[in-house]
Amino acid sequence: RLLAEHGLIGLPLRDAALAQPLRFRDPATDPAARPAEIGKGTMAIRSRLAGMLDASLYELDRYDLDVSTTLDAQLQHQVSEFLGRLSDPGFARAQGLFGERMLSPNRMEAVRYSFNLVERTEAGNRVRVQTDTTDQPLDINEGSKLELGSTAKLRVLATYLEIVAELHQRLSGLSAAELRTLKVESRDRLTLWGVEYLASAPDRSLEAMLQAALERRYSASPGESFFTGGGVHSFSNFRREDNGRIVTVREALQGSINLPFVRLLRDVVRHTMYQVPGSSARLLEDDGDPRRHEYLGRFADREGQVFLRRFWSRYHGKKPEEIRSAFLEGVRPGAERLAAAYLYLSPQATPEQLGNFLRERLPGEALPAERVSRLHARNGPGAYDLPDRGYVARVHPLELWLVRFLAQRPDANWNDAVKASAEERQAVYRWLFRTRYKGAQDTRIYTMLEVEAFLDIHRRWARLGYPFGHLVPSLATALGSSGDRPAALAELMGIIVNDGVRRATLRMDRLDFAAGTPYETRFVRELAAGERVMAPEVAAALRNALSEVVEGGTARRLAGAFKLADGTALALGGKTGTGDNRIVIGRGGMRGVALNRTATFVFYLGPRHFGTLTAYVVGPEAASYGFTSALPVQILKSMGPVLLPRLQVTNSCLRQELAGQIKQIE
């Protein structure tokens, strides 16, 4: 009656329903069916589906709905069972997981594992396995933010080779004489190298230039201090034996050596400072021009909008609390930085409110009331102008301004933001030239240039599937400080395997609602063409470099491990990474509160499969574990008998497809 009264059903259907006798189930003779066992794959599909339908899991359970997924149910079960047995010391020993930089029999209970395997097809990247060993609904593959260590070097390498490809496109059409007349900023070492290479190389092809770029050499010495992220930092290598070496980029990737990648990212940052549209690096070029102030005013108005537009696209359309949360997630943890940002966004906040906020964001740091009061007084309203506050918070001042503006005026449009920010855009650039002491001026200028450069680097990473809205503007990002997700790393590997094309990641093929009823509705995924996000030559160079990590680098225990029934060895490549994430207390470095320890291997396996395997420990007990990426590499090797039957079938199908194509051509 209610359905008919509200027009949801017609009167004939109402009358037919009212005439139908109701027969209730007898629980004694017909007990309720037990719910099916819900594994991690099913749980991941249910959570994703609930989000798509804007429904709770309770509501989802009451839908008349059949879902066809891409998961290989048998393989999903086998992999989940295999990973679950790794907590058994006897089974772990049989898989070769005990030893240096791996596990010990008395230290196993807190280690969790996650694994995903994806198959590339013409229809898209189809997830075949997605599982982890947590007993929580959270899916570590997609729902986490973990420091995955040296896997970040793969993202740095991809950005570096993309820049080399751009230099080739821009410069390869010039003659040697024309190249030698180009004026290049002396700090832009990548452009200088590109000009020098193309002016003298006998082979000017992109493939040859990419290989030459992988042969560029960097020092592995930890003796240099780096001004980055607004302060002076030092970095170390995992192996002391690497400290005195000067290695190629290729060798640094194979051995996962830290310092060459820190220096490589510095070159990328400096190149970006002078190449990205809107960079204020040009402000430093001519300090003697009498028209400087007029030029600066025009520059600030025009180029300030470039950065404001980037922040606008990031936050526009979100609710104020979502904007605030997304922004604060990108502020690097630190009491002074967080206090400066928080008190700009909440100028009326009391010291008590500031303390509660800081304790929530910095759970392992001592924050007595006296310290919070000092932070409140030092960062309260009127303590800084907008540019200085952005400098203290280590964020771009225009981003800080826009977050507060949209929180106060969530319905504002782009023109409103441009009009309201006129004074702020001028201030953000002019303040650089008002500092009294040149040393302090240069420090602040470089810090802001670095922030601007990382905005463009983040744009590149996001195009390749990086899942977060910010990068930490620091060279430590080369070693994983900006975080990542296993599923996002798998997506990057999929781009590389797909010759630079980013295809949709598929977990569901079809939704059938109310099958066999008058309301039957079927949704089938529309096939979409992939998007080219990387030059095919860059993807090929990356695949080759990653294969060398397995052939002679940090994953060499996998060399030749996966062979088909006919003895054919599957092509295999990947990148290892180890993360030791802790809040450091005091100077010197290693004391601190452990947050988590991770070890990851992102890989491609054969011509069509790729994925990630991660081992991790969360919480203070992570400090008592010393495993590295050798652990997931060995686990993947041990999983060979589980995975190979699936790979065998896929490889046979691929051979049949190729044979059919060859016959058709003939």
Percent of the chain with pLDDT over 70: 88
Is a pLDDT exceeding 50 seen at residue 108? yes
Please report the pLDDT score of residue 434 as a whole number. 61
Confidence of residue 152 (pLDDT cuts 50, 70, 90): very high
Other Cβ atoms closer than 10 A to 352: 12
What is the helix (H) or strand (E) element at residue 361, kind and residue range? helix 351-361
Please report the pLDDT score of residue 206 as a whole number. 97
pLDDT digits (tens, 9 = 90+) for 28-49: 888 877 766 677 888 888 888 9
Other Cβ atoms closer than 10 A to 588: 7
Please report the pLDDT score of residue 574 as a whole number. 96
Averaged pLDDT for residues 317-346 = 90
Percent of the chain with pLDDT over 90: 57
Q: Tokens 């051995």 label which residue? A: 255
d(CA 483, CA 159): 17
Averaged pLDDT for residues 59-78 = 92
Q: What is the pTM assigned to this prediction?
A: 0.78
Please report the pLDDT score of residue 289 as a whole number. 46
d(CA 595, CA 621): 8
Please report the pLDDT score of residue 186 as a whole number. 86
Pick from 429, 485, 447: which is nearest to 602 by CA? 485
Average pLDDT of the chain, as a whole number: 87
- In one-letter notation, the amino acid at residue 117 is L
Averaged pLDDT for residues 260-283 = 82
Averaged pLDDT for residues 274-279 = 66
pLDDT digits (tens, 9 = 90+) for 373-402: 999 999 988 888 888 898 899 899 999 999
Is a pLDDT exceeding 90 seen at residue 15? yes
Span between the terminal Cα atoms of the chain, in Å:
69
Is a pLDDT exceeding 60 seen at residue 437? no
pLDDT digits (tens, 9 = 90+) for 564-616: 888 888 999 999 999 887 665 544 444 567 778 899 999 999 999 999 999 99
d(CA 586, CA 442): 27
And the tokens for 136?
A: 């929580």
Confidence of residue 96 (pLDDT cuts 50, 70, 90): very high
Averaged pLDDT for residues 503-509 = 92
Please report the pLDDT score of residue 134 as a whole number. 84
Pick from 132, 13, 12: which is nearest to 82 by CA? 132
The better pLDDT of the pair 332, 601 is held by 601
Averaged pLDDT for residues 298-317 = 80
Contact 365, 335 (CB under 8 A): yes
Averaged pLDDT for residues 122-145 = 83
Contact 483, 468 (CB under 8 A): yes
Contact 397, 307 (CB under 8 A): no
Is a pLDDT exceeding 70 seen at residue 281? no
Q: Which residues contact 57 (CB under 8 A, 6 or more apart)?
A: 46, 47, 50
The better pLDDT of the pair 190, 529 is held by 190
Query: 124-128, 328-332, 546-550: lowest mean pLDDT where?
Result: 328-332
The better pLDDT of the pair 582, 85 is held by 85
